[in-house]
């Protein structure tokens, strides 16, 4: 029997491949800083029994403040090395394949969440083993790497490969969930039209402001950004350059909430632009009330991202009745009016908005954003993710395996 032929062992586990990084304490417990905690992961277990998460897990001595448990009853992990970058990935690839192949052997269904390189490896293994797979699309691979701004010059090459993989995986999957209402669905369709709009942002009652804000004329425009500084996705450099361009017309301060390897580089850039005293990098803070405190102290939320799916940070800011301007990428056009967006890499356009936005305009934006954010309340979208998972269960019960595309008319168009 070939190594990749179907095993006689009963396939029992739902295997979730995640591009997210987790940490492990000395006792073996798994922790996360984001919404990929046990509360989220257990929904997979509730819908489909045991779930095994395949993801990068780094060992730490102490768990940082604000982290939450990710493992628990029904949720186990197959840990991969915490590589960073294509060279480290290539070095780790043999072990990654061994671990993923072991995970695939016990899978009755594979879910590819966030279609990066790890999902690409599991996609190959699932197809070789004829294991049904589904996809959860939280962003656009091709858009992330298309101009080399993220990942370096080589990223244009491997980004094109990941973009093709993502299109094929979504086309072939037994079902696909998308964090957007329509944006990602148009670019990454499923051949069976088994498509679900499942926002991965669910806000509790405490996340919402009591009402819109009012804005008296003030001397300083206070901006806030929230996001990881590990990669240049969030466009902090764009924000700093735009502030430098706009400051002859207005006094501006920026608070950046988040941490990562690029933090020092951004602090140096702010100093080089002579706005070091106006840019405050507060580092990582606990999710929830601590983040909302920074949102509450700001006048305007900005998101000059180079790529996004459906950005949680923006929706949380909108729920706090905070006016927002953002780059026209990913699912952001589903959240904001065109007048409050600017082009990707649009430094000059963002600077113009910062220099000219008025208190009256921000007050109107405040009410609009609060109203739109209520579409993401727990009451509005509770159960949508579970509905998607229950649909997958019904598909796997009636399907003997994942078919492959065999004819030209079955293949997705790949530009």
pLDDT tens-digit profile of 304-316?
A: 999 888 899 999 9
pLDDT band at 150 (very low <50, low <70, confident <90, very high): low
pLDDT band at 5 (very low <50, low <70, confident <90, very high): very low
Looking up tokens 């056009």 gives 333
The arithmetic mean of pLDDT across residues 7-26, rounded, is 78
Q: What pLDDT is attached to residue 355?
A: 94
- Quote the DSSP letter at residue 7: P
Q: What pLDDT is attached to residue 383?
A: 66
Element (H, E) at 291: helix 289-297
Looking up tokens 């701004």 gives 149
Residue 406: is its pLDDT beyond 90?
Answer: no
pLDDT band at 129 (very low <50, low <70, confident <90, very high): very high
Q: What pLDDT is attached to residue 405?
A: 39
Q: What pLDDT is attached to residue 285?
A: 87
More reliable by pLDDT, 337 or 247: 337
pLDDT tens, position by position, 205-238: 889 999 999 988 778 999 999 999 988 989 999 9
Q: What pLDDT is attached to residue 203?
A: 85
- Which string of DSSP letters, residue by residue, matches 215-236? ----SEEEEEEES--SSGGG-H
More reliable by pLDDT, 156 or 124: 124
Contacts of 176 (CB under 8 A, 6+ apart): 134, 135, 136, 137, 170, 188, 190, 194, 195, 196
More reliable by pLDDT, 292 or 156: 292
- Quote the DSSP letter at residue 201: -
Q: What pLDDT is attached to residue 248?
A: 83
CA atoms within 13 A on the CB side of 128: 15
Average per-residue pLDDT for the chain = 86
Residue 152: is its pLDDT beyond 90?
Answer: no
pLDDT band at 36 (very low <50, low <70, confident <90, very high): confident
Question: Coil, strand or helix: which one is 31?
Answer: strand
Question: Angle at the Cα of 333 (from 228 to 267), degrees rounded to 5?
Answer: 25
Q: Sketch out the chain's domains with CATH numbers.
A: 13-202+382-410 (3.40.50), 205-376 (3.40.50.2000)
pTM: 0.75
Work out the percent of the chain whose per-residue pLDDT is above 90: 59
Phi-psi region of 49 (alpha: psi -120 to 50; beta: other; left: phi over 0): left
The arithmetic mean of pLDDT across residues 63-87, rounded, is 89
Q: What pLDDT is attached to residue 377?
A: 84
End-to-end, the C-alpha distance of the chain in Å comes to 38
The arithmetic mean of pLDDT across residues 322-347, rounded, is 95
pLDDT tens, position by position, 338-386: 999 999 999 999 999 999 999 999 999 999 999 999 988 877 766 677 7
């Amino acid at each position: 029997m070939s190594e990749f032929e179907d095993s006689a062992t009963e396939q029992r586990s739902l295997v979730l491949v995640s591009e997210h990084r987790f940490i492990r304490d000395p006792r073996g417990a798994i922790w996360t800083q984001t919404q990929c905690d046990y509360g989220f992961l257990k929904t997979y277990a509730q819908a489909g029994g045991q779930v095994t998460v395949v993801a990068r897990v780094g060992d730490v001595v102490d768990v940082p403040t604000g982290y939450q448990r990710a493992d628990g009853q029904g949720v186990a992990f197959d840990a991969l090395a915490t590589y960073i970058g294509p060279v480290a990935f290539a070095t780790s690839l043999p072990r990654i394949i061994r671990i993923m192949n072991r995970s695939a052997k016990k899978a009755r269904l594979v879910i590819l969440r966030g279609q990066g390189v790890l999902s690409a490896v599991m996609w190959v293994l699932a197809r070789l083993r004829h294991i049904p797979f589904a996809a959860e699309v939280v962003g656009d691979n091709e858009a992330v790497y298309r101009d080399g701004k993220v990942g370096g010059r080589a990223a244009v090459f491997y980004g094109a490969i990941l973009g093709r993989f993502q299109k094929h995986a979504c086309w072939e999957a037994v079902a696909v969930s998308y964090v957007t209402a329509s944006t990602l669905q148009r670019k990454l369709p499923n051949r069976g039209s088994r498509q679900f709009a499942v926002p991965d942002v669910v806000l509790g009652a405490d996340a919402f402001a009591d009402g819109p804000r009012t804005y008296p004329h003030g001397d300083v425009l206070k901006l806030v950004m929230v996001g990881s500084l590990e990669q240049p996705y969030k466009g902090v450099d764009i924000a700093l350059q735009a502030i430098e361009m706009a400051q002859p017309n207005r006094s501006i301060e920026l608070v950046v909430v988040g941490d990562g390897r690029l933090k020092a580089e951004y602090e140096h850039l702010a100093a080089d632009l002579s706005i070091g005293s106006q840019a405050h990098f507060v580092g990582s803070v606990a999710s929830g009330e601590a983040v909302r405190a920074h949102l509450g102290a700001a006048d305007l939320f900005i998101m000059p991202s180079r790529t996004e799916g459906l950005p949680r940070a923006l929706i949380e800011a909108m729920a706090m009745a905070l006016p927002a301007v953002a780059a026209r990428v990913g699912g952001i056009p589903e959240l904001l009016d065109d007048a409050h967006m600017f082009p990707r890499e649009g430094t000059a356009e963002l600077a113009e908005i910062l220099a000219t936005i008025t208190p009256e305009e921000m007050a109107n934006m405040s009410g609009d954003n609060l109203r739109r954010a209520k579409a993401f309340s727990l009451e509005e979208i509770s159960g949508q993710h579970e509905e998607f998972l229950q649909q997958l269960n019904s598909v796997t019960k009636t399907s003997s395996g994942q078919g492959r595309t065999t004819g030209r008319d079955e293949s997705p168009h790949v530009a």
